């Protein structure tokens, strides 16, 4: 079957079918789905000449939300190492939500084999543009927004559930939470859900005043712990949803004369490169960043232009260090 014959079956032009397989140019979502379904039904695959240069490209574009979080910087280094091992190169692009066309133009100019998103937002215009172009995309370290892309991530709900159970096992029943501004299906939402479930299973409650929502940086933790303790001065533990948040919270706690973990325990999340070096070293929910990066690169390399929305979930564990201790009731 020629691409003209295949295009006729799809009721599209040969140029549109070519754009679908090469990933160049925009295609509406209904047309993309129609072509994809016909390709699966007929088993049609175009000759290499119609796949464009992306298939043999050694370039991977990585979209980064910001460079203020240690998690993103650590993940970039892991991705770089695994990409280099496979003979690939990374191009790092900051996310421009206000003007996604700028980022899309940069992606088109470098003609990558695919894109890695270090982002999961549902309200992400660039994700819509990438989806319309049938660009191979893998979300690294998060759940794919709208389940439109392949993803490699942890089970955030179970990880947070385990984190709260760890604190409960140390005798803590009055636990505060430093979270991001969670949205439906976001990691923050999943983690809060897991925390709430763990507390319910232990016949404990999670009052809204014990949750301080904001960003995920060191500064957010430093600023956020004060209003949290003003509302809930009897907290014996804080579960921060990033190590950056945990470190910022500890810095502020120490400034006001609270000892960690003697007066209040602080549990982090990620096990980033700062966690071991901080004082005290952070007890944290460890994400397997090396595995996440490796599987992300392997998955993207194996897609070869195909549209894939499958997900791979990896396990977490608690890395015990010195920022958490047994609850000491007065």
Nearest partner of 210 among 171, 175, 173, judged by Cα: 175
- pLDDT single digits (tens) 230-280: 999 999 999 999 999 999 999 999 999 999 999 999 999 999 999 999 999
- pLDDT single digits (tens) 130-159: 777 777 889 999 876 666 788 999 999 999
Q: Following DSSP, what letter does each residue of 105-132 receive, concatenated?
A: HHHHHH--SEEEES---SS-HHHHHHHH
Whole-prediction pTM value? 0.82
Q: How far apart are CA 253 and CA 42, in angstroms?
A: 63
Q: What is the structure's pLDDT at 49?
A: 44
Residues 6+ apart with CB under 8 A from 96: 102, 103, 126
Proportion of the chain in helix, strand, coil states, percent, rounded to 5: 45, 15, 40
**Could you tell me the domains of the chain?**
54-154+289-316 (3.40.50.2300), 156-287 (3.40.50.2300)
Query: Tokens in use for 215?
Result: 């960003």
- pLDDT single digits (tens) 298-322: 999 888 555 677 889 999 999 999 9
User: What's the whole-number average pLDDT of the chain?
Assistant: 88
């Amino acid at each position: 079957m020629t691409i003209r014959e295949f295009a006729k079956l799809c009721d599209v032009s040969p140029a549109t079918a070519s754009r679908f397989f090469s990933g160049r140019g925009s295609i509406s979502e209904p047309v993309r789905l129609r072509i994809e379904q016909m390709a699966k039904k007929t088993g049609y695959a175009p000759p290499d000449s119609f796949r464009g240069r992306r298939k043999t490209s050694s370039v991977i574009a990585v979209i980064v939300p910001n460079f203020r979080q240690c998690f993103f910087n650590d993940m970039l280094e892991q991705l770089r190492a695994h990409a280099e091992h496979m003979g690939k190169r990374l191009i790092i692009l900051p996310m421009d939500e206000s003007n996604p066309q700028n980022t899309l133009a940069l992606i088109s100019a470098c003609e990558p084999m695919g894109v890695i998103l270090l982002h999961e937002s549902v309200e992400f215009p660039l994700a819509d543009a990438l989806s319309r172009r049938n660009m191979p995309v893998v979300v690294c370290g998060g759940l794919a927004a709208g389940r439109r892309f392949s993803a490699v991530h942890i089970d955030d709900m179970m990880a947070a559930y385990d984190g709260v159970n760890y604190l409960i096992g140390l005798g803590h029943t009055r636990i505060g939470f430093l979270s991001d501004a969670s949205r439906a299906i976001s990691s923050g939402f999943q983690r809060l859900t897991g925390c709430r479930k763990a507390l319910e299973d232990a016949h404990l409650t999670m009052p809204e005043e014990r949750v301080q929502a904001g960003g995920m940086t060191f500064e957010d933790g430093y600023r956020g712990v004060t209003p949290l303790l003003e509302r809930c001065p009897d907290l014996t533990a804080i579960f921060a949803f990033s190590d950056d948040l945990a470190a910022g919270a500890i810095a502020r706690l120490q400034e006001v004369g609270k000892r960690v973990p003697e007066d209040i325990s602080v549990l982090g999340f990620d096990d980033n490169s700062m966690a071991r070096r901080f004082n005290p070293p952070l007890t944290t929910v460890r994400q397997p960043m090396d595995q996440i990066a490796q599987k992300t690169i392997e998955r993207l390399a194996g897609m070869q232009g195909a549209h894939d929305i499958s997900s791979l979930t990896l396990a977490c564990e608690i890395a015990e260090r010195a920022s958490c201790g047994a609850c000491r009731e007065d």
